[in-house]
Amino acid sequence: MGNGINSSQSAVVTDSLTGNNAIDSMLTLTHWATMGTNRTLYYSFPNLGSWGSNYSSSNEYTNMTALNSGQQAQFRLALATWSRVANINFVEIADNSSQAGDIRAAINNTINPQSSSGFGYYPSDFASGGDIWLAPNVGEAAVGSFYFATMIHEIGHAIGLKHPGSYDSGDSTPSGPFLPSSTDNYAYSVMSYNRNSQMESGLNLTGPSLYDIQAIQLLYGANTGTAPGNDSYTLSTAFQTIWDPNGSNTLDGSAQSSNLSIDLRAGNFSYIGSTLAAGLAYGTRAQVARGGTGDDTIYTNELGDSIDGGAGNDTVVFSGNYSSYAIAPSSSTVTLSQGGASWSLANVETVRFADTAVAAYAELRRAALSGQQPGSGPGLWDRHHRRL
């Protein structure tokens, strides 16, 4: 958009449905054509003197307050949660009678905070396209607060995402398609209005979720340079969605005493007890899992993983049938391999395979040490299983 005086900086692109409901439920079917090899999208913070007279049907600027410097800083952090996952390079420019960013953020004093925390215009060539108006009680919008999550949500609208359900705090309920009720919640989307019942009570999101990341990466491309090293992510009840396509990364639950479900597969969720701890965005690599002192269940991925269950009675789950893995023990670990991938297991008591064979870890080691590799004796695991 422009400011009602000047036209857009970036062009607006019209999108088509993909046939994937998890993506299509998120799309406004417009996004910005970012500019240049830096993929620039301009934003700005308007003041009272920045406006043309034909801004929008409600001319929100006639009742505006500019964001203060602290709120602007939080808004930049909220922008960064999106540029971290997608190829959008948000660049701030001055906002005045001769120029404005495509995304502009300010407070609109006519918003009733009881019914709405703000709104964001979808990308368009109208003067208002991409603009964000926040409720007057936005406050400091600290990371973890409701209003920081609101900033992330409204930026989602401004760059091309809609609500994934048939609801709106204003008068413009989006058209479908929509997510099924099982996924129309915060664990899947910051654009949803619904909490997830397994999320810690009162928690606010601090970044986009699984389906947001998938959709925005479709529109702008994935930011494949994020988190280039070997990174460790500590599991806690402060739910996070992890985007990390580089290195050998760790999901670390070693500080936990509740039973954990640690899922190393992209597109899946990990839990502390029954509370959501983390989701892995599609394309995220996580190859190391550390269990806590409880009885943990750890799901492996196809990359090959290093797993330490820690204390407790821990189970590791493989997607393939038992006989499809070669098994080699060492003094304190067992290594399974298949194709070019290998998985090393330490402090694991049970290993589960797709064909529902459940092998006690000690038995797995004994079988491997005695040279009875899987596949060599079809009845092997039936016998062992009966003996357990």
The residues of the shown chain that bind Ca ion, judged by CB under 5 A, are 227, 231, 244, 246-247, 249, 291, 296, 309-310, 312, 314, 347
List alpha helices for the chain, DSSP H.
21-24, 69-83, 146-158, 210-220, 361-369, 380-387
CB of 292 to Ca ion, least distance (A): 5
CB of 329 to Ca ion, least distance (A): 16
Contact partners, residue 298, CB within 8 Å, separation at least 6: 260, 261, 262, 263, 264, 289, 291, 307, 309, 314, 315, 316, 317, 348
CB of 303 to Ca ion, least distance (A): 13
CB of 347 to Ca ion, least distance (A): 4
CB of 351 to Ca ion, least distance (A): 12
Count of CB atoms situated within 10 Å of the CB of 224: 12
Nearer to Ca ion, 20 or 246 (CB): 246
Nearer to Ca ion, 184 or 296 (CB): 296
CB of 278 to Ca ion, least distance (A): 14
Nearer to Ca ion, 310 or 374 (CB): 310
Nearest to 213, CA basis, from 266, 145, 286: 266
- Is residue 174 reached through a cis peptide bond, with omega within 30 degrees of 0 on the bond before it? no
Nearer to Ca ion, 20 or 230 (CB): 230
Nearer to Ca ion, 191 or 289 (CB): 289
Query: What whole-number distance in Å separates Cα of residue 272 and Cα of residue 321?
Result: 27
Decide: 287 and 248 in contact? Cβ < 8 Å. Answer: yes
CB of 95 to Ca ion, least distance (A): 36
Decide: 345 and 359 in contact? Cβ < 8 Å. Answer: no
Nearer to Ca ion, 180 or 225 (CB): 225
CA-atom Rg of the chain in angstroms = 25
Query: What whole-number distance in Å separates Cα of residue 232 and Cα of residue 289?
Result: 10
Nearer to Ca ion, 3 or 350 (CB): 350
Nearer to Ca ion, 102 or 308 (CB): 308
Burial 158-184 (b: 16+ CB within 10 A, else e): bbbbbbbbeeebeeeebeeebbeeebb
CB of 222 to Ca ion, least distance (A): 14
Query: What whole-number distance in Å separates Cα of residue 3 and Cα of residue 56?
Result: 10
Decide: 111 and 136 in contact? Cβ < 8 Å. Answer: yes
